[in-house]
Each structure stands twice: as structure tokens, then as C-alpha cells.
A and B are shown apart, each in its own frame.
Chain A
Amino acid sequence: MARQFMKGNDAIVVGALAAGCRAYYGYPITPASEIAHAAALHFPALGGVFIQAESEVAAMNMVYGTAGMGVRTMTASSSPGFSLKQEGLSYAAGAELPCVVVNIVRGGPGLGNIAPEQGDYFQITKGGGHGNYRLIALAPNGAQEMCDLTMHAFELADKYRNPACIMADGITGQMMEVVEIPKALPKTWDHTSWCVDGTPGTAGNLVSSIILEPLELEAHNLKLEAKYEQIRNHEVMFEKYAVDDADLVVVAYGVVSRIVYSTVDQARAEGLKVGLLRPITVWPFPSAVITSLCATAKAFLAVELSTGQMVEDVRLAVEGRKPVHFYGRCGGVVPGGDELLAEYRRVLGGGSR
């Protein structure tokens, strides 16, 4: 078995290579820089492209270029840099270009700090750039998933011709775990029907997001929306741990889900029937399973490294059927297990916050 002990950030690059990604464009930023370091080492060694771009904006637009050629490509950054990528993401979504963007989320707003946070949830799942579009967004919580979900992100991006995002945090990026190195995917994709790759076969194609006529642009938007509806219907991923009989369903993703996971058994040992629902896709959000859990759960608790972003999606799924509580830390503060246990006791004891 080919295994290696590696950082989550490095595992992303391994996953990208195994998914057939051939070009990496990036700009240094903590705590995502290891991804660029690994890409700079591996992409040229494999005859691929690595460019340290002049800016995040340029890097994302280079991704647009390679994606438009029907070749798998990616970039990675952290929150302030991810803000700068919104232009290119909107264009890529508009032009229906598959690509993968990684955001190792750090503390914000503004320059914030380099500590882990999840304050980019709105930006990633609700848009970020201009116009009606969505990012497919996957939230790994460990090094193996950093690898595997990156591969999956490339597959989804291709399948739906849409940018896909890996939303992780500084802890998941910096932490090392044992990663099983995957087999490279067979090259099953062929984008010559729409890409422009500098060969005669694609010379009649156009990569563009400009549609001047309002009716035509409306039709394009509706086509995108229909695609997003397909994604909502078919690509939701989540993990359940002890939720089926849980009085309190804790909803948490990324590194927070690991902290919650550590507390579930402890909580149950003291008689608190707590379970964990972990969204793996944060967009599409696992709304249906949350709605169905309203039949058995007494309450929901969203735990996030933010002041309350994902909790809005939990509320939308619960639709007022059950109380939805929120517990968050931000600015780089990570909640401890004891804090969470205290919160479970308070919520299940009927206390209010």
C-alpha cells in the first residue's frame, strides 16, 4: 500500500496530480503556500505548468486560460487572496469552465490573521463574484480527504463545467496525517466540443462569458441554474455520526467536525444524546438530511469558526420546525471540547444563550 505521512496542503497537490491536473497558477499566501511549494516541485517535474503569477487575479485568469483549453487546472489561496479570485471565478462560471480553486480559509475580515477560520462560507457558498452562479464546494476535514476530495472536485468540475472549490482551514492544511496515495485517473474526459486548445479541431469554438442580448443572457442563466439544480439533486455529500437517535444534532464541517466528533462519545457518556452531521459538500448543502432529521431531533446546533454563516443554511433546512442554535468562535480561536460539551448541556437543558 503506497502511503505517506503528509500535510493536508501537500495532499491536495497529490490529489490534483492524480486527477490529471496539468497546470497550477498561484500566488504565495499563508497558510496556503505549501500548496504552491508542492506544485512548484511536482508540476514541472511531470511536464506540467507551474507559474507563480504576479497576482491572485492573474493566477485565476491563467486558470481561466488553461481551463478554456479543456485541460485540468487549479489555483490555491487563502481568504484575502481568494477575494481577489472572485473576478476570474465569475468569468469561469459564466464561460462554464471546469477548474479547481482551493481556499485555505484564515481569519478575516481584511488582512485578519493567518489562523484557521470559516468566515469565507458565505463567499464560497453564496457567490462571491458577481452574477448568478455557484461554486461546487467541498470541505475536507483531514489529509486523506484533502487528496480525495480534490480529485472529486476535478471530476465534478468537469461533469458540470463549473468551478469547484476546496474549502479547508489552516489546521486541515497544516496538519499531517497518513495519506494513501491514489492511482492516477484514466483520462476519460474530452472537451473538444467546446474548448479552444489551439488545434484546428477546436478553432470554431469560443470561450466567453459575454452575452449581450437580455433574453439570451437570461436563457444562459436559466441553463446554469438548471445545472445547479442537478448538482443540488445529485452531488450532496455528508457524514452522519450517531445522529439517528440524537436529541441534539450538531452540524459542523471541516476541522470543527473533528472537534465535535471527539465530543460526541463523551456527551453520550454523560447521557446527552448528541450526534454529528458533517456537510462534506457545503454547496450543495445537505439540506434534505437536515430536514428529515427534524422528525427525530429535538434541536440543532451549528458550530462554526465564524460568527454564524452556515447556521443560516441549517435554519433554511429546518424551516422553523425545531430550534436551531449556534456556537461559534472566530478570529482564529478554535473551540475546545469542553466548551462544546458545555454548550450541549445548555441547549439540551433548555437554557438559552
Chain B
Amino acid sequence: MVEANKNLRIEQKREGDKIVCKLSGWLDPNTSPELVNKLDLNGIKSLVIDMSGVEYVFSAGLRSILMLQKLLEFQGGNIKLTNVSDDIRGIFECTGLDSLLEPKA
């Protein structure tokens, strides 16, 4: 359990009503709940997640991201994923969630 949780590193920076968050590791059933727990979205209108260090996003990860989106939506904000690898982009595309992604440069 301890090892598994170390599998995801979360660095976050808060600027007013915006959080920029850098993730590295896997977004799997063990780590994903942590993502929702660790980010304090109170008063946040914009969440930018830097996905450059993320190797895999499994269904549990998708679920967590969608949950964050719903929370922000409620506050009138939104979520943006940046630096998404091609593989993970493929996952978002085939699940129809690619609107969350920063358009490909």
C-alpha cells in the first residue's frame, strides 16, 4: 500500500483562483483518489494539470479527472490537461474526453 501510493507524485502551485499541478507516475485505482483528496479546489476557477510525467491513465484516473471537472464546473471553472503524451491522448480521444486536453501544439 505504501509503495503503491508512492507511485504518484503531486506538485501543486496555487495562484489566486488557479492551481497549476504537476503529476508524475501512474493514475491507477490506488493513486487516483489521492489526486482528488490532495487538491483543495475551494474557490478555484481554473485547474491546469501538467501531465508530462504521467505514464499511464487508467479508468480510475479518468474517473478522478472527470470528478475534478464536475467540481470545478459547479464553481464555474474548468480543467485543462497539458503536456499529454500521445498514448494518453489516444485514451482521452477514444473515450470522448479529449475536450479536457490542451489542443495539440
- Our verdict on whether A and B bind, yes or no, reads no
Chain A interface (Cβ < 8 Å from any Cβ of B): none
